Amino acid sequence: MEQHLDGSEFEVRKYVSLCALDAICATAMGINLKAMESGKCEFDEAVTKLIHIVFKRGISPWLYPDFIFNRTQLGTDQRKHIRSMQEFGINVIRQKKATIVRRSDEGVSADNEQDSYGKYHTIQM
């Protein structure tokens, strides 16, 4: 976002959605995606593309029937992006599960676990 400080207009939605995704994953799952640092995330890109597909289908009456829509490139793209979002969720859950298993092997219970994102949460607020 710092590269946009020259005063010109820029799209803020991307930064807000990446920040929200980071915050949600950190608070709900304890996973730090660092999407804001990298500036991109497959999940965010898939959501953005799905929004465009839904809008295009909404203004194109000939695409309303699933029988037709599913045989178009938009239908194929929609399935691809939904699959990408599902894989993202599955990967986040796998990471959290691996962390829980590793910590239980180390003898750290959830009650004794320190919040490694405490500083992150404070900064976000």
In whole angstroms, what is the distance from residue 46 CA to residue 48 CA? Answer: 5
Domain boundaries, the chain: 2-124
Confidence of residue 109 (pLDDT cuts 50, 70, 90): low
In whole angstroms, what is the distance from residue 30 CA to residue 23 CA? Answer: 9
- What is the DSSP track for 31-74? ----HHHHS--HHHHHHHHHHHHHHHHHT-GGG-SHHHHTTSHH
For the segment 11-65, what is each residue's pLDDT rounded down to a tens digit?
888 889 999 999 998 888 888 888 888 888 899 999 999 999 999 999 999 999 9
For the segment 67-99, what is each residue's pLDDT rounded down to a tens digit?
999 999 999 999 999 999 999 999 999 988 998
Does 107 or 118 have the greater pLDDT score?
Answer: 107
CA 55 to chain centre: 20
Task: Report the predicted TM-score, pTM, of the whole model to 2 decimal places.
Answer: 0.73
φ, ψ for residue 6 (rounded to 5)? Answer: -75, 0
